Amino acid sequence: MLDPETQAIPRECGDCPIRHRAVCARCEADELELLDQIKYYRSFEAGQTVVWAGDKMDFVGSVVSGIATLTQTMEDGRTQMVGLLLPSDFVGRPGRQTAAYDVVATSDMVMCCFRKQPFEDMMSRTPHIAQRLLEMTLDELDAAREWMLVLGRKTAREKIASLLSIIARRDAALNVAGRRGPMVFILPLTREAMADYLGLTLETVSRQISALKRDGVIVLEGKRHVTVPDFNRLLDEAGDDSDGGMLA
């Protein structure tokens, strides 16, 4: 059953929680009206597939709430999680007919979708959309390069701290919050999913999270409710400086 909070759909673009970060962030009022004519909302339950790799995509869109994973399957059946889609992230590629990865909702999720061909037509007439999509694509490229460092060079503790810092920063940005005071967020991934994404064992993930909790870097209520008392300390644990981080 869908979580009522996650399933909540904004009535107006101005009320949308991702408005200031999504592909429509630079749009003027008249451009938003045009987008409104080709948009629709879709809700997905946790574990539901949004699209399979190789399937034809007749839509693109933004994650409004919830989280999804990008997964690639090898010929022998092995799978690897290669990315996360957090609120405001864009799904699909204009000009590409098929999906490159499996996209699966990890939590209950709502997407703001646009019919693909009208969206592509609008991109050619609306520089604000094309510019914002380019910015988001370059941010995604930077994030992928940083993630190569995380997977290739960082210790298990640094990997866990890096992932937590990404999620904390994105949650704060969506709430237009600064870094003063504790940062509080709901961890959207199970420890099994974290292990898959980080290339660690489940036991290692659990052990390192417990160590971060014991050392006061994070405070846990249950398994998912996380408080970061000092964000700069979390960045130190991740091996990043105060300006560091993998996602804008």
Q: Could you tell me the two tokens for 219?
A: 């405070």
DSSP the chain: ---HHHH---SSGGG-TTTTTSTTTT--HHHHHHHHHHEEEEEE-TT-EEE-TT-B--EEEEEEES-EEEEEE-TTS-EEEEEEE-TT-EES-TT--B-SSEEEESS-EEEEEEEHHHHHHHHHH-HHHHHHHHHHHHHHHHHHHHHHHHHHH--HHHHHHHHHHHHHHHHHHHTT--SSS-EEEE--S-HHHHHHHHT--HHHHHHHHHHHHHTTS-EEETTTEEEES-HHHHHHHHT--TT--S--
Q: Could you tell me the two tokens for 186?
A: 């709901």
The residue with greater pLDDT, 174 or 247, is 174
**pLDDT, tens digit (0-9, with 9 covering 90-100), for 52-110:** 999 999 999 999 999 999 999 888 888 888 888 999 999 999 989 999 999 999 989 99
Tokens 């994973």 identify what position?
Answer: 69
pLDDT of residue 248: 37
For the ranges 17-21, 110-114, 233-237, 242-246, which has the lowest average pLDDT? 242-246
**pLDDT, tens digit (0-9, with 9 covering 90-100), for 106-159:** 989 999 999 999 999 999 888 899 999 999 999 889 888 888 888 888 999 999
The residue with greater pLDDT, 243 or 129, is 129
What confidence tier does 11 reach under pLDDT thresholds 50, 70, 90?
low
Residue 20's nearest CA partner among 10, 5, 7 is 10
Calculate the average pLDDT of the chain: 87
Q: Which domains does the chain have, with CATH numbers?
A: 4-146 (2.60.120.10), 155-238 (1.10.10.10)
The reply to whether the predicted model has a pTM over 0.85 is no
Tokens 């987008």 identify what position?
Answer: 35
The residue with greater pLDDT, 245 or 44, is 44
